[in-house]
Each structure stands twice: as C-alpha cells, then as structure tokens.
Amino acid sequence: MLSGPGGSSDSRIGFDELVLVEVGRGTSERVNNAKAVVLAGGRGTRLSPYTSVLPKPLMPIGDQSILEVVLGSLRSCGISEVTLCVGYLSHLIRAVIGDETADVRINYVEEREALGTAGPLRQVAGLRSTFI
C-alpha cells in the first residue's frame, strides 16, 4: 500500500495508481491505467558540448539511450502509453524513439519555446488525474 504525505493513505489523490520502487530492494507494484509523462525538452547545458549535437534523453548509457532505459522501466511496471514532452532537438528524439518502442505507445507534446520544468504539463491532453 502506498501512502500520501505524512504517511497517511489517501485514495482521493490516486496514490494507489503510482509505482512504488524500493531502491536497492528491486521490488515494485504494477500500475493500473496510470499515465506516464517524461519531460525531455531541456537543452542539457551541463552536458555541453555533447548536447550540441545530441539531446540529453538520447545520451547513451551502455548500449541504450537514457530515454530507452526510462521507457523500458515504465514498461516493466505495466505502463503501456507514455507522453514525451520534447523541445530541443526533438526531431532526433522522434527519429530514434518513433511512435512505439519496447511495447510502449509514444505520444509527443512539442514545446515551441522553453516553458520551464512543469510548463509542458499544461499541454498534455487528458492529464487531469494522477500520473507518473
């Protein structure tokens, strides 16, 4: 069972739909009909000069990109649809990830201008309840 702020259980805000991953223990609970949003629109300035040609979500970790690792983790928790909020070099993310990867359907929300950390969430259609 998941708990809300202060340890109280609160089903009104949908904590039961979230994924609980206990770091170091490798346990997780599956998610039922939760939406996942990945914010992948930043410039990644701290990784410059690498991010001048490749967006941060596509930076490699071993033989996969950061974004592929994240999408695989979401899939393993039962998420089958993810919205990617993209901006900087988004055409490369679309070319590499496409509309479906690792059995996860991908939707895109394009930031035409930088909207800040949470700004793109306003553009995600149907995001009125709990999401990951």
Per residue in 57-86, pLDDT (tens digit) is: 999 999 999 999 999 999 988 898 999 999
Arithmetic mean of pLDDT over the chain: 77
Whether residue 102 contacts residue 68, with contact meaning beta carbons closer than 8 Å, is answered with: yes
Per residue in 110-131, pLDDT (tens digit) is: 988 877 777 788 788 877 777 8
User: How are beta strands 100-101 and 60-61 bridged, if at all?
Assistant: unpaired
Confidence of residue 37 (pLDDT cuts 50, 70, 90): very high
Mean pLDDT of 8-15: 38
Q: Is 24 left (phi over 0), alpha (psi -120 to 50) or beta?
A: left
76, two tokens: 């393993």
Per residue in 99-113, pLDDT (tens digit) is: 987 788 999 999 888
Which residue from 39, 47, 121, 132 is spatially nearest to 81, judged by alpha carbons?
A: 132
Confidence of residue 33 (pLDDT cuts 50, 70, 90): low
Q: Which residue has the higher pLDDT, 18 or 70?
A: 70
Task: Look at residue 11 in the predicted model and tell me its pLDDT.
Answer: 37
Q: HEC profile for 20-84?
A: CEECCCCEECCCCCCEEEEEECCCCHHHCCHHHCCCHHHCEECCEEHHHHHHHHHHHCCCCEEEE
Task: Look at residue 125 in the predicted model and tell me its pLDDT.
Answer: 82
97, two tokens: 């990830």
Task: Look at residue 126 in the predicted model and tell me its pLDDT.
Answer: 78
- What predicted TM-score, i.e. pTM, was given to this entire model? 0.72
